[in-house]
Each structure stands twice: as structure tokens, then as C-alpha cells.
Homo-oligomer: A and B are copies of this chain.
């Protein structure tokens, strides 16, 4: 019991959770989403303030990976398939333009600057996925969740999440093979789409059976434990089929969202996610090399210029998507602004790219900078456009 392992793990968990919540609270008080505070806490810890904390700690790394699986599982539970279908063709159009435009802009920029195909695809892909959480929270705070624009945005953000995750598994496969090939992208996209298809076809039966069995069992905690078992098994199954673990976790959540135990599972998952998710965001922040942003270091200037250009393109690419919605009287600029914030999925891209060696720490810092900047900018824009 008294081994050094558990002591340093406890110290690190206390420091991570304390930092995440203090800075998360601070961020919310300043009108920003809490995730920004958690990232900032990570950046500060990454500077080496606590000797027991190392950004490359293996156990914390594994707990962070469980955290991202739980995050995607929870996102899945909140992404109702029916809601998604009801959101309609306008959302689909906005989502497609909102994915295509930033990807083309980012990819084009990197290619033009002479980066490799893998790096260009990665940066383009990291610019695609909207963070539904941040937009939903801001619209809710403004009391505008019932507006037509809000429904289009939220529907588009859900579709966008799914497209983003398919792209991620395509990009992830590519990052591991190290080679950029349209064939490999097509192949992994097909695999991810195939996994989704298979899951949506057979999954409802499996998830309904799971809930029925769990209801008949009487042992303590059976509902949450079987849900977690389902999420982890689906993640492993997705991985076995050649797609990403997180695609499986997300799909598991979407399947359980269609059962009558959705609310119960969501309620019980929340405290678990509350503990694990901050570990992920803090570890993401801790890997940011703050010195890379120092403009006084001459070598950093190109990266800073690149980061600012990426941010501008990331905002422009999503703003454009608002004009994909047809019909009169729509606040198209508002719809576009609602699609701007990149969040969790963008950070996962950065994380995966760095771990696979597809992007270096300078490009990693640029991607994290893009996520942070779009997340900061969106609430300010939305407040002006929807007031």
C-alpha cells in the first residue's frame, strides 16, 4: 500500500483535479468555457511547477486515454440519432460546408507552404470538427436554444462530430502508416463508415438486450458497469475492425441514447466523466510547449505566423458554412459563428498527431492555439450576433 507509485499518483490526481477545477471555475467566471481553464491548468503544470508531475507519466497517460473514451461515450449519449435526423437537410448542408471549407483551406495552406501530405491532411482535418458543447452552452446562456438558427447549428454540430470522428480515424490510420495516400484515406473512411453502418444495423438490438439484461440483474451498479463494459467493448471492436477506439466509444453512446435507460446511464456516467475528463484536458495542456509561443525567440516567429493564419482560416471556413442554409430571414452570420468553436475533437486530433509523430511539437502548439482561439472567439461573436 505504501509504495511510491500510489503516493505519487494520488499527489498528481489531487494537483490535476484541483488545478482543473480552479482554473475551470475562473474561466467560467470570466464568461469562457471551463475547458479553457483546464487546458491552462495543464499548461502551467507542464512548466514543471510540481516535481511529481511529468507530462509523459504513463499511468496518467492511460487515465487520460480512458478520459477521452468516456468523453466521446458521453458525447454519443447526447447525440440522439433521431434529433440528428430531425435537424434536417439544412443542418446537413451547413455541416458539409463547415467540414469541407476549413479542410480545403487548411490543407491548401500547408501544401502551399511545402509541408508534407500527412502534415497537410492533419492540419486540415484538425480544423473540421465543431465543439457542440461550447456552442450549446453559449446559446443556452443567451436563452436562444429554441431559435431556428440554434436548431440548425446544433444539428450541424452533431453531424459534424460524426464526420469529424470518421475523418479522425482515417487520419489516424494514415498517421500510423506515415504515408499520405488517397487510397488509405478512402479505405479507413470506408472502414469507419462500415463500422457505423454495422453498429447502427446490429447495435440497437445489442444495446436493447444489454439494457433488458441489466434491468433483470440485481447486483449493485449493474447499469453503469454494463454501460462502461459496452463502451469499452465497442471501442475494442472498432479498433479490431481497423477504426479508432473513440469511434467505438462514441457509437456505443449513440446506441445507448436510443434505449429507455438513457437518462439513468447519463446521470451515472457524469460523475465518472467528471473525474476522468479533466485528466485528459490537463494532460493535453501539459504537452503544450509554452516557449513555442514566445515571439521574442526568432525561431518561433514562423510558427506564430502560421498559427495566426490557421486561426483566421479556421474562423473563415466555418463562417462560410452559414450560407449553406437556404430560406429567408435566417441569421446566416450567426449560424456560421455558431460553428466556429473547435473543442474536444480538435484537441484529440492534436493529441493523436503528436503521439503518432505525424506532427511535431511546433505544429501541435499551432493546433492547440487554434482550438483555444476559436473557443475564445465564438462566445464573444455569438453574444453580439444573437443578442
Contact = CB atoms under 8 A, between A and B. Distances in A.
A232 B8 CA distance: 11
Contacts of A20: 225
A198 interface: no
A28 B226 contact: no
B65 A1 contact: yes
Interface in A318-374: 351-352, 355-356
Interface in A3-52: 3, 5-7, 9-11, 13-14, 17-18, 20-21, 24-25, 28-29, 34, 37
A220 B274 contact: yes
A245 B62 contact: no
A239 interface: yes
B218 A10 contact: no
What DSSP secondary structure best describes chain A's contact surface?
helix
Identical subunits present: 2
Contact of A17 (B14, B29, B218, B228): B228
Interface stretch (A76-84, A187-195, A264-272, A301-309): A264-272
Nearest to A274: B221
A165 B157 CA distance: 52
Interface of A: 1-3, 5-7, 9-11, 13-14, 17-18, 20-21, 24-25, 28-29, 34, 37, 58-59, 61-62, 65-66, 69, 172, 176, 217-222, 224-226, 228-229, 232-233, 235-236, 239, 244-246, 268-275, 278, 351-352, 355-356
